Amino acid sequence: MIASSVALDDGVVIHHPDLVNLYGCTVGAGSRIGTFVEIQKNASVGRNCKISSHTFICEGVTIEDGVFVGHGVMFTNDLHPRAVNPDGSLQTDTDWEMVPTLVRRHASIGSNATILAGVTIGEGALVGAGAVVTKDVPAEAIVAGVPARITGHVKDAQSGSVSARRAR
């Protein structure tokens, strides 16, 4: 379902529009959205991004231009999620704090990564498949693991340096 509250720029491609859930979000020109993707209200995807299938982008997530998001990536927006308040009453929309998350331009996030609320993934950074990102990722860093830790730098990996080969 694509709600009428969604702002899609020119050239956005949504594979199987009947198998996505988009509402109250913005998607920039030239971006591609895969099957079974959910993008919630107050989330934004920049220009020329690729959001792969089975990905969840929640409220408060900002993805800048040229970002790749792999299959099954999960974003969170609450540092202390719970179903009930301390008094046992059910949580409502006003009983929690939405914590924004930012993915800077040209970053890449590998399949099945989980991005916790409040982090910034730096420009050109690479998040390995299955990583759990719990803190900010510097620009051009390669992170992997649970929790994600720096294992190398994109420029070293592109040059084929010895340190980059060890990081793999």
Catalytic residues: 80
Phi, psi of 145 (to 5 degrees): 100, 180
Which residues fall within 8 angstroms of residue 107, CB to CB, at 6 or more apart? Answer: 64, 67, 68, 121, 122, 123, 124, 125, 126, 127, 137
What DSSP letter does each residue of 84-136 carry, written as one string?
B-TTSPBP-TTSS----EEE-TT-EE-TT-EE-TT-EEPTT-EEPTT-EE-S-
